[in-house]
Amino acid sequence: MESDTIIDHGEPVRQFAVMLPNRVGALAAMVKLLRASSIEVIGLSVQDSRDATVARLVVSDPESTEQLFMEKGIPHTTCELVVVAMRESGPGLLQCLDTLMIAETNIDFAYALMPCTEGHSMLAMHVEDYEFAVAILHQSGFKLMYQEDLSR
């Protein structure tokens, strides 16, 4: 049966992108706001410019984060990330990148996440086609992580 071959992957990891003023303590204030609501930052990427900073965040509770940002009037965007857990960061990274290159799918951006409870390194990637990348990586034997795996 065709339905037997469909793999339930889980909820995609959601990333929040927030523009912060480029001033001392702005990122710390954002993390404190999240922690006050029992939300932990699991991944962080910061792109800074002279006037503003774009902070990309992966959090332990995306639903509560979305609600908090809406309540506080914090403008943000969200997107889905493919997250790969790796035992060996060097060889695992190259194998992952080679797999996506052979499949001819582009990575828009990538960054490391905090190690998971099993101690694996994790790579978060925004790709041009989420479902295709998940299928290719899964078929190639990579351990993929989903939001429920990261929500601690």
Please name the fold of domain 81-150.
Alpha-Beta Plaits (3.30.70)
23-31: average pLDDT? 91
Residue 84 clears pLDDT 60, i.e. is over it: yes
Local confidence band at 152 (pLDDT 50, 70, 90 cut-offs): low
Q: What is the DSSP letter of 62?
A: H
Calculate the alpha carbon distances from 125 to 13, 18, 58, 102, 136 in Å.
10, 17, 11, 16, 14
Q: Is 107 in contact with 126 (CB distance < 8 Å)?
A: yes
Class of domain 13-79: alpha beta
Local confidence band at 110 (pLDDT 50, 70, 90 cut-offs): very high
28-47: average pLDDT? 94
pLDDT, mean over the chain: 88
Q: Look at residue 91 in the predicted model and tell me its pLDDT.
A: 78
Retrieve residue 20's tokens: 């912060």
**pTM, rounded to two decimals:** 0.86
Q: What are phi and psi of 84, to 5 degrees?
A: -115, 130
Where are the chain's structural domains?
13-79, 81-150
